[in-house]
Chain A
Amino acid sequence: GQQLNQSPQSMFIQEGEDVSMNCTSSSIFNTWLWYKQDPGEGPVLLIALYKAGELTSNGRLTAQFGITRKDSFLNISASIPSDVGIYFCAGKETSGSRLTFGEGTQLTVNP
């Protein structure tokens, strides 16, 4: 099936730094979603994107639907310790029906 390449796999940053991660696909998507998973819990939807070029914010988080429709980016500004967790991208192909998930970015924030 469709594969999503999510990078980086892990990040170690200092509190207060900005963070950027991305997902790319080999085909065109019409939906991009970003989730966060805390240890031992289920993923929680952070941001949903539906149009090429769309830029959406949720507090300190900003995500963009790439104009090529094959990628998406998530930025976190001024990181804090509670940002620690695994961030997943997910997307749906224009020609498909199911969501595909990336393998996640493990974020560690040092106080």
Chain B
Amino acid sequence: DGGITQSPKYLFRKEGQNVTLSCEQNLNHDAMYWYRQDPGQGLRLIYYSQIVNDFQKGDIAEGYSVSREKKESFPLTVTSAQKNPTAFYLCASSRCRVGQPQHFGDGTRLSIL
């Protein structure tokens, strides 16, 4: 089945540590996205990429970094500069271009030890 795979499902980070969240899709979608979800706040866009080797900041990019070396993969690194990283992180993808309906993975829940 085609879909979006996020791993791990749960992730724990120590203070001052960088962590990388994985997102892989086999839908042959061009665009990929990372969102952060906090209770009662909906989805906030962190970064998005419309094509390999290109990405743009979303609304809350500070403290995060991404790469898009392959069409199928869009990993997100939560750096030590992100002071409040505890959240549910969702990866999504869409055909062709930004603005098309997005399909989501099942998320990674990041917690601070």
Contact = CB atoms under 8 A, between A and B. Distances in A.
Contact of B104 (A1, A42, A98, A103): A42
Interface residues of B, number: 22
Contacts of A1: 59
Contacts, number: 49
B108 to A, nearest CB: 10
Interface residues of A, number: 23
A51 to B, nearest CB: 15
Given A1-B59, A102-B42, A103-B41, A42 B105 contact: yes
Interface in B28-56: 40-43, 45, 48
Contact of B90 (A43, A92, A103): A43
Q: Is the interface of B mostly helix, strand, loop or mixed?
A: loop
A101 B101 CA distance: 12
Nearest to B104: A42
Given A33-B101, A96-B99, A97-B98, A42 B41 contact: no
Contact of A42 (B40, B98, B101, B107): B107
Interface of B: 4, 6, 40-43, 45, 48, 59, 90, 92, 97-99, 101-107, 109
